[in-house]
Amino acid sequence: MMASVFSFAIVFSAVAVAVSVSVSAVARVSIPFHQDSVSFVNSSGNNGTTMILPLFFNNHNHHRRKEHFHTRRHLHTRSTRNARMPLHDDLLLNGYYTTRLWIGTPPQRFALIVDTGSTVTYVPCSTCERCGKHQDPKFQPELSSTYQPVKCNIDCTCDRDREQCIYERQYAEMSSSSGVLGEDIVSFGNQSELEPQRAVFGCENMETGDLYSQHADGIMGLGRGDLSIVDQLVDKVVIRDSFSLCYGGMDVGGGAMVLGGISPPADMVFTPSDPVRSPYYNIELREIHVAGKKLPLNPRVFDVKHGTVLDSGTTYAYLPEVAFGAFKEAIFKEVHSLKRIQGPDPNYKDICFSGAGSDASQLSKAFPSVEMVFANGQKLLLSPENYLFRHSKVRGSYCLGIFQNGKDPTTLLGGIIVRNTLVTYDREHEKIGFWKTNCSELWDRLQVSSAPPPLPSGTNDMGTDMAPVLAPSEPPLPKTTGQSTESTDD
Ligand SMILES: *[C@@H]1O[C@H](CO)[C@@H](O)[C@H](O)[C@H]1NC(C)=O
Ligand SMILES: *[C@@H]1O[C@H](CO)[C@@H](O)[C@H](O)[C@H]1NC(C)=O
Ligand SMILES: *[C@@H]1O[C@H](CO)[C@@H](O)[C@H](O)[C@H]1NC(C)=O
Ligand SMILES: *[C@@H]1O[C@H](CO)[C@@H](O)[C@H](O)[C@H]1NC(C)=O
């Protein structure tokens, strides 16, 4: 279903990937944006590499998505499987989390950065004229018996010979990826119940900047758009319109991800996520509390420009100027026992504290809890590891991982905010859920705390090898369900 292929793409950032292998200082700096860009962030790090991934979209595409609602809701009554996939790497150490994806017959394996801020999934192609050295060999379409080029059509940008569709992604900071679009069987690993599926992906012929130098092979795009792997699987009615990410905690890394629906734990906290608000995954943040006290802010500060955007590919978090000022002051008031020290990189004015001890599990003794309050009044409790990162040079010291978003009024919440938190992007119900958990034990924990009542035997069409907890929780939607989104667009 590779319908619209960005013909007038809007560049913008959605992900900062630090390639450096040292956990050092941090990103800050927002780049002057293009009209429609979410802000960005220069990651310092001794090699100071930052990659900014775009989410390309156009109104046409956006509109088209809305048209899908009807079909999707009905078809969803049958789609029940999901893909369970482990995550590797670490947001602060590597700058990203990756998952493994297999493409072709026989399958060729890739390590792809999971990114909710971009759409197309791409891997280096054997025909690549300029690709870096990554952790796996390039994709060799010629060795796959099931590969097919996506033929030139009116919905895509065609190559010079008008034979095959091409894609191009440009990022601020001079990173880019371009290549051809191909279609092949994609498999999701041996822990996944979702059987391999045909999908469209990019076969790269050119990489520049951090996309060239990074260790990971490419990107897995989980954003909103027809080329997104999520949209493709949903359009094929093989998964529900939802996915989840769970990032490991401080010093742990790794984690888990699920493409498709899961049964949400009873105490999962939700916020509405309006797909029309922006091309990103927005949440409706209204207040921030520090040590139980509400910051003195007008809730509208979190709704300016792109609003509050959740981006799995961004490392840290960025607040509008006034919100950051209030947050910082509130933290200062609560950390009496600690000493302010210089950040790991003299080029940046990191706000760091010593005296909290090396044991990350004891951080809440020295640092206050922080809560985010959503429009519906639900609260997400953040532990210190959700707003602090380890000082790379001074033992037992930590620095604020929340920064001012330059002069950009967008609130951008990256991976640090959701460490050890299961985040469910429930696109079907236009909401995003958060559940604090140990992501290293996600499967066990979901099972314990959210196992649905046993299904009557013989009435479900799920494989016997799947964990019952991962079955979709809701009963099939009755066809009469009248959600406002359905009735308002036709
Ligand atoms: C990002 O960092 C690089 C090198 O550290 C610097 O040259 C560049 O100006 C920075 N970008 C922004 C937008 O500040
Ligand atoms: C980062 O810098 C270190 C030394 O400063 C160097 O050894 C390493 O190769 C650099 N890594 C990258 C990805 O440039
Ligand atoms: C799944 O595959 C990995 C290698 O990709 C292997 O190490 C592991 O043992 C396999 N697990 C099962 C249950 O087959
Ligand atoms: C999370 O689970 C892993 C694996 O069982 C364990 O090693 C780790 O200590 C746990 N983390 C916390 C904070 O309990």
Could you tell me if 427 and 351 lie in one domain?
yes
Instruction: Say if 24 falls within a structural domain.
Output: no
Q: Closest ligand to 88 CA?
A: 3
- CATH number, domain of 229, equals 2.40.70.10
User: Ligand 4 centre from 249 Cα, in Å?
Assistant: 9
pLDDT of residue 95: 83
What's the number of domains the chain is made of? 2
Q: Is 267 a catalytic residue?
A: no
Q: Which residue segment(s) compose the domain that 210 sits in?
A: 80-259
User: Ligand 1 centre from 392 Cα, in Å?
Assistant: 21
Give the strands of the sheet with 379-382, arranged side by side. 293-294, 285-290, 370-374, 379-382
Q: List Cβ neighbours of 474 (8 Å cut-off, separation of 6 or more).
A: 261
pLDDT of residue 79: 52
Could you tell me if 293 and 368 lie in one domain?
yes
Between vectors from CA 59 to CA 155 and to CA 410, what angle results, nearest 5°? 135
User: What's the pTM?
Assistant: 0.77
Domain boundary residue among 380, 414, 431? 431
Beta 402-404 vs 411-413: how paired, if at all?
unpaired
Token pair, residue 109, equals 């394996």
CB atoms inside a 10 Å sphere around CB 361: 12
Instruction: Say if 374 falls within a structural domain.
Output: yes
User: Ligand 2 centre from 53 Cα, in Å?
Assistant: 21
Could you tell me if 225 and 145 lie in one domain?
yes
Could you tell me if 282 and 202 lie in one domain?
no
pLDDT of residue 447: 61
Q: Is 22 in the pocket of ligand 2 (CB under 6 A)?
A: no
Instruction: Say if 68 falls within a structural domain.
Output: no
Residue nearest (by alpha carbon) to ligand 2 atom 7:
47
- On whether the CB atoms of residues 244 and 423 are closer than 8 A, the answer is yes
Instruction: Say if 85 falls within a structural domain.
Output: yes
Tens digit of pLDDT per residue, the chain (490 long)? 333 222 222 223 333 332 222 222 223 222 222 222 333 333 332 223 333 333 333 333 333 333 344 444 444 445 568 999 999 998 778 888 999 999 999 999 999 999 998 899 999 999 999 999 999 999 999 999 999 999 999 999 999 999 999 999 886 557 899 999 999 999 999 999 999 999 999 999 999 998 999 999 999 999 999 999 999 999 999 999 999 999 999 988 899 999 999 999 999 999 999 999 988 999 999 999 999 999 999 999 999 999 999 988 788 999 999 999 999 999 999 998 899 999 998 888 899 999 999 998 899 999 999 999 999 999 999 999 999 999 989 999 999 999 999 899 999 999 999 999 999 999 999 999 999 999 998 888 876 443 344 444 433 333 333 333 333 333 333 333 233 332 323 3
Domain boundary residue among 409, 431, 453? 431
Q: Is 19 in the pocket of ligand 2 (CB under 6 A)?
A: yes
Token pair, residue 347, equals 């080029």
Instruction: Say if 459 falls within a structural domain.
Output: no
Instruction: Say if 484 falls within a structural domain.
Output: no
Q: Is 46 in the pocket of ligand 1 (CB under 6 A)?
A: no
Q: Is 471 in the pocket of ligand 1 (CB under 6 A)?
A: no
Q: Closest ligand to 17 CA?
A: 2
Q: Is 311 a catalytic residue?
A: yes
Could you tell me if 161 and 212 lie in one domain?
yes
Could you tell me if 235 and 314 lie in one domain?
no
Could you tell me if 329 and 235 lie in one domain?
no
Q: Tell me how far apart the alpha carbons of residues 259 and 310 are, in angstroms, rounded to a whole number.
A: 17
pLDDT of residue 212: 95
pLDDT of residue 339: 96
Instruction: Say if 447 falls within a structural domain.
Output: no
Beta 165-170 vs 176-187: how paired, if at all?
antiparallel
pLDDT of residue 53: 35
Could you tell me if 323 and 409 lie in one domain?
yes
